[in-house]
Chain A
Amino acid sequence: MYYKINKIKLYINFIQILFDYFKNRLYFCRIINSTTMLPTSCPSCHAQLKVKSLTCESCSTEVTGSYDLPVLALLSDSDQQFILRFVKNSGSLKEMAAELKLSYPTVRNMLNEIISKIEAYEK
């Protein structure tokens, strides 16, 4: 009887290990997939992240410190894309509106939202 209970516990542990393995694998896949975008906030407590070290790929020199992320890097991917498009269109909201197929005031409001986000980060 005791032997059987131990065997069941062993099976449960094995299933638990398998479950954890796939859960972790999925988590790391998510992290790897998100490497295209610089993470700006802590995945645990959502506080703003800082740059701790920088590496030179050619000579492997490593610089360590505590550097603030640039304000633009703190913005979301879509906001960064918006700013890039804005610069490429020479700052013309009219051209941006035509490109995005949105109305002029809608695009202006999007820009105003980004401005207020930047102002909040700068504070």
Chain B
Amino acid sequence: MKSNEFWGLLINPFRKVAGWQAFGLGLVFVGVMGLVGTLGHVAFDGALDMHLTDSLTYAQSFLYLGISLASVVLVMWLAGVMIAKQVRFIDILGTMTLAKAPFLLLAVAGLFTTAPDLTQITQNPMAVFSSVSFIVLLVLSLPVMVWSIALMYNGFKVSCGVQGSKLTLAFILGLFTAEIVSKLALYWLL
């Protein structure tokens, strides 16, 4: 495989994989994320959120993941229906599930991270810098989030078959709405 092709696949695998295949592959990543996240006390509680918690059960971890993923899929599907003629639900479901895959890196990083004490941070905000592993996790979270957003955008683009400002606007609005919906859903359901 050529280098360009490899990087292209990392950013847009949906040219080759979509629908049920992407959903199956994405479920594997999400499943491992749920397991590793629980062990590392990393909760993926939002469309693009990740938080370190003191305690996290397997049920909570998977509920957070499930609700946030469902919010993204539903909102993006509705956004897709509004801007495109032919959007298959399975394509949105598959691409959005697989777009969560980069967060597995944060789940793994969470295993080696010690969260700084909250009471210490409120007294002295500079206490955040006392934990090197926490800083590493913070720094890592930015490229992971960018990668995930790029995957979501490409997944949305391939699924809808629309280009230009209409696509970008629908995606940005969809992403913000999904984040709000996931937060509200988590607040009401848990």
Contact = CB atoms under 8 A, between A and B. Distances in A.
B15 A106 contact: yes
A105 interface: yes
Would you call the interface of chain B mostly helix, strand, loop, or mixed?
A: helix
A104 B19 CA distance: 8
A108 B19 contact: no
- Please classify the interface of chain A as helix (H, G, I), strand (E, B), loop, or mixed, using the class held by over half of its residues: helix
B6 to A, nearest CB: 16
Interface in B21-39: 21-22
A105 B158 contact: yes
B19 A103 contact: yes
Contact of A106 (B14, B21, B86): B14
A123 interface: no
Interface in A105-120: 105-106, 108-109, 112
Interface string A66-108: 0000000000000000000000000000000000011111101
A103 B158 contact: yes
B16 A105 contact: no
B143 interface: no
How large, as a class, is the contact surface on chain A? under 10
A109 B158 contact: yes
Contacts of A101: 16
A91 B159 CA distance: 20
A102 B161 contact: no
A109 B161 CA distance: 5
A109 B15 CA distance: 10
Nearest to A112: B161
Contacts of A108: 86, 161
Contacts of B159: 105
25 contacts: A101-B16, A102-B15, A102-B16, A103-B14, A103-B15, A103-B16, A103-B18, A103-B19, A103-B21, A103-B22, A104-B19, A104-B91, A105-B14, A105-B19, A105-B88, A105-B91, A105-B159, A105-B161, A106-B14, A106-B16, A108-B86, A108-B161, A109-B158, A109-B161, A112-B86
Closest 5 CB pairs of A and B: A103-B18, A109-B161, A105-B158, A106-B15, A105-B91
Interface of B: 14-19, 21-22, 86, 88, 91, 158-159, 161
